[in-house]
Structure 1
Amino acid sequence: MNYHIGVVEDDPNIQNIVMAYLKKEGFEVTLSDSAEKAWEVWENRKPDMWILDIMLPGMDGYEFCKKIRNESEVPIIIISAKDEEIDKILGLELGGDDYLTKPFSPRELIARIKRLFKRSAPRIDAENGDKEIIKTHHLEIYIEERRIFYKGKEFDVTTKEFDMLLFFTQNINRAFSREDLLVRVWGDDYFGSDRAVDDLVKRLRKKLPDLPLETVWGYGYRLRDEEEAE
């Protein structure tokens, strides 16, 4: 599949480097030097992923991320010279799927892009094409379609929200540390803070407030069996 990636960046040097690497990998690229222009791109031909700078003229990247998330769960990788933990947490809270601090390796960016596309792509049972579904009382996860139903209602989730929820449902009642969850959901090459785990759990609890996703104090989190939790 020829993925279309929208790049929102106002630095000409970074524009050229990112464009060159993305095109070398076979991606179709649309470049915008402001969030306002990027929004016009979104309204006319929606990219399959956004590479988004935070510090932009006019509307900043945070606001653009928030606007996109109001309409879609398309993957978003935030790139920024702001490397404070609070900036990373804010970007993830607003719906970013990943966060890279400038200066970054273009190869690392490509690796993260491929990993996000791999996780967000539907998975098909090669043997018989049957749908693979995980059911745990009120929760149903359609793995190939990457759809979540809770108490009969479908909920939109981001790529990492889906990955975390799928992992928990495959390990009911088992507690995992924040470090374990970083590796399982973000990958063992992720170097961000484990606060990203707390933020993702917070987002899942907000979307699914009745889900028994429990804090294991001083350790991490677990998803309880709903019959035990009731």
Structure 2
Amino acid sequence: MSQHIYIVEDDPNIRNIVSAYLKQENFTLTMVDNAEEAWEMARDGHPDMWILDIMLPGMNGYDLCKKIRQESEVPIIIISAKDEEVDKILGLELGSDDYLTKPFSPRELVARIKRLFKRVEIYQEHKKAQKDQEYRSGDLIIQVTNRRVFWHDEEIEVTAKEFELLYSLMQNQNRAFSREELLTLIWGEDYFGSDRAVDDLVKRLRKKIDGLPIETVWGYGYRFRDDQEANQ
């Protein structure tokens, strides 16, 4: 069965061009011109990926992205005429996996879709192969398979990327990671945004987990200190 992509775009010319290219790749498509209708349709449709325009009538693409992320980890690509760095960071912070600026090449969009589906496939295979793995450092526990985080026996709600950052650092306690390394680990090699996204993730985690032993390596990046070292 082909992968099902929901495309939410109010420009009929872009819809037609994107549709022509993606149908050649044998994707199943649902084309919608507004976020409200797309959200209602998705309740029963369960798409494998979303492609969202930002400037939509009614609910905008950012709000729809946020609603999707509250219920699902399905891949999201944002396409937008807004090319400011702050707009890209906002889209990524709200949970999108990629951001493409208009005007864009339909071939580039196809390539990004394929890379993102491949990344999801590798992740799912890795997840199936994992046993119920648990990492512990002092009062911090992360359960890998069900992606849960506990601090002083209280569960902490974290986003997918917050979890990936915490997991990556806890796996390699006391090792310093550069911001560029963390960008690649969490967003993938094809991410071209600012390393401020890493700083924002760390800031949010520190706010949620008071006393989190992630320390800043000034001018470089971050590291997770093990419990023994943190208490010295």
- TM above 0.5, yes or no, is yes
Structure 2 residue identity aligned to 1:59: M
Deviates more, 1:116-125 or 1:67-76: 116-125
The CA deviation at 1:32 is: 0.9
SS at 1:23 equivalent: helix
1:123 is aligned to: 125
What are the within-5 Å matches in structure 2 for residues 61-210 of structure 1? 61-120=61-120, 121-124=123-126, 131=131, 133-137=133-137, 138-142=140-144, 145=145, 147-151=147-151, 153=155, 155=157, 157-158=159-160, 160-206=161-207, 208-210=209-211
Q: Please name the residue that 2:215 is paired with.
A: 214
**TM-score in terms of structure 1 length:** 0.82
Larger radius of gyration: 2
Gaps of 5+ in 1: none
Structure 1 pair 210–88 and aligned structure 2 pair: CA distance change class (3 A): same
Q: Give per-residue Cα distances to partners, 1:37-66, cap 9 Å, x unaligned.
A: 111122222212211110111111112122
Relative to the length of structure 2, the TM-score reads 0.81
Aligned counterpart, 1:45: 45
Aligned residues: 225
From the superposition, tell whether residues 194 and 154 of structure 1 become closer, same or farther in structure 2 (CA, over 3 Å): closer
SS in 1 for 2:125: coil
User: 1:17 & 1:51 partners in 2: Cα distance?
Assistant: 14
Is residue 27 of structure 1 aligned with residue 27 of structure 2? Answer: yes
Task: Find the residue that maps to 2:215 and give its secondary structure.
Answer: strand
2:201 and 2:102 mapped to 1: Cα distance? 23
In the aligned structure 2, how far is the partner of 1:85 from the partner of 1:64?
Answer: 20
Distance (Å, rounded) in 2 between the aligned partners of 1:136 and 1:178: 24
Distance 1:110-1:95 versus aligned 2 partners, 3 A rule: same
Paired letter, 1:190: Y
- Which residue identity does 2:175 align to in structure 1? R
Aligned residues: percent identity? 64
**Distance of 2:118 and 2:162 partners within structure 1:** 15
Do 1:122 and 1:146's aligned partners in 2 also have CA atoms closer than 8 Å?
no
- Any gaps of 5 or more consecutive residues in structure 2? none
Deviation at 1:84, TM superposition (A): 0.7
Deviation at 1:134, TM superposition (A): 5.0
